[in-house]
Amino acid sequence: MTADQTDDRDRTRDRDVDAASGSTDEADDCDAFTLADFHEASQRAGRPVLTAAAVARALERSHEDVNGGLEALAERGDLERLSVATDPVVWYPSELEDLTDRERVVVFPKRREIVVDRPDQFTRAQLSQFAHLADGNGDSGYRYVVRPEDVWAAPHDTFEALRRTIRQALGQREERLEEWIESQWDRARQFRLVTHEDGYTVLEATSPEVMGNVARQKLDEEHVHAPISETEDWVREGSEAAIKRILYEAGYPVQDQRDLESGEDLEIDLQVSLRPYQRTWVDRFEEAGEGVFVGPPGSGKTIAAMGAMARVEGETLVLVPSRDLARQWADAIVEHTSLGPAQVGQYHGGQKNVRPVTITTYQIAGMDRHRSLFDDRQWGLVVFDECQHVPSDVYRRSTHLQSRHRLGLSASPIREDDRQTEIFTLVGPPIGTDWQALFDAGFVAEPELEIRYVPWGDDEQQNAYGSAEGRERYRIAAENRGKVPEIRYLLAAHPESTALVFVDYLDQGRDLAAALDVPFLSGETPHHERRRLLESFRRGDRDVLVISRVGDEGIDLPAADLAIVASGLGGSRRQGTQRVGRTMRPVGGALVYVLATRGTREEDFARRQLQHLGRKGVTVRERSVDPDERARGADEGDDTAADDADPGEESSVSE
Q: Judge contact between 374 and 360, C-beta under 8 A.
A: yes
Position 2 pLDDT exceeds 50: no
Side by side, which strands form the sheet with 620-624? Answer: 520-521, 544-547, 499-502, 562-565, 591-597, 448-454, 620-624, 650-652
What integer pLDDT is reported at residue 178 of this predicted model?
A: 95
Range with lowest mean pLDDT among 75-89, 273-287, 310-324, 534-548: 75-89
The average pLDDT across 12-33 equals 44
pLDDT for 437 equals 73
Q: What is the pLDDT of residue 578?
A: 52
- Spell 367-399 as b/e; 16+ CB within 10 A means b: eeebbeebeebebbbbbbbbbbbbbeeebbbbb
Torsion of CA 125, 128, 129, 134, to 10 degrees: 170
Of 357, 326, 325, nearest to 343 by C-alpha is: 357
What whole-number percentage of the chain has pLDDT above 90? Answer: 32
Kindly tell me the sign of the dihedral angle through the C-alpha atoms of 528, 529, 530, 533. positive
Closest CA to 534 of 335, 324, 385: 324
pLDDT band at 342 (very low <50, low <70, confident <90, very high): very high
Residue 17 has pLDDT above 50, yes or no: no
pLDDT digits (tens, 9 = 90+) for 362-421: 888 877 677 667 766 778 899 999 887 776 666 666 666 667 788 999 876 654 445 556
Say yes or no: do domains 276-433 and 445-652 share a fold: yes
Q: Write down the pLDDT at residue 204.
A: 96
Can you tell me the mean pLDDT for 538-558?
Answer: 74
pTM of the model: 0.61
Q: Where does 445-652 sit in CATH, by number?
A: 3.40.50.300
Residue 229 pLDDT grade (very low, low, confident, very high; cuts 50, 70, 90) = very high
Pairwise CA distance, residues 124 & 142, whole Å: 9
Region of poorest pLDDT, from 161-170, 275-284, 552-561, 628-637:
628-637
Give me the pLDDT at residue 380, please.
Answer: 87
Residue 232, number of CB atoms within 10 A of its CB: 16
The confidence score (pLDDT) of residue 591 equals 81
pLDDT of residue 485: 94
What local confidence, expressed as pLDDT, does residue 567 receive? 86
User: Does residue 619 have a pLDDT over 90?
Assistant: no
Q: Please tell me the least confidently modeled range out of 175-179, 399-403, 451-455, 593-597.
A: 399-403
Instruction: List pLDDT tens digits, range 468-485.
Output: 988 888 889 999 999 999
| Per-residue model confidence (pLDDT) at position 630 | 60
What is the DSSP track for 473-515?
HHHHHHT-TTHHHHHHHHHHHSTT--EEEE-S-HHHHHHHHHH
- The pLDDT of 256-276, averaged and rounded, is 85
Mean pLDDT, residues 65-71 = 88
Task: Give the domain ranges of the chain.
Answer: 3-185, 189-252, 276-433, 445-652
Q: How confident is the model at residue 1 (pLDDT cuts 50, 70, 90)?
A: very low
Q: Cβ–Cβ contacts within 10 Å for residue 545, how many?
A: 24
Domain spanning 276-433, CATH class: alpha beta
DSSP for 423-449, written as a single string: HHHHT--EEE--HHHHHHHTSSPPPEE
Output the DSSP codes for 92-113.
EEGGGGGGGGS-EEEEETTTTE
What is the average pLDDT value for the chain, to the nearest integer? Answer: 79
Check residue 230 and report its DSSP letter: T
- State residue 28's pLDDT score: 41
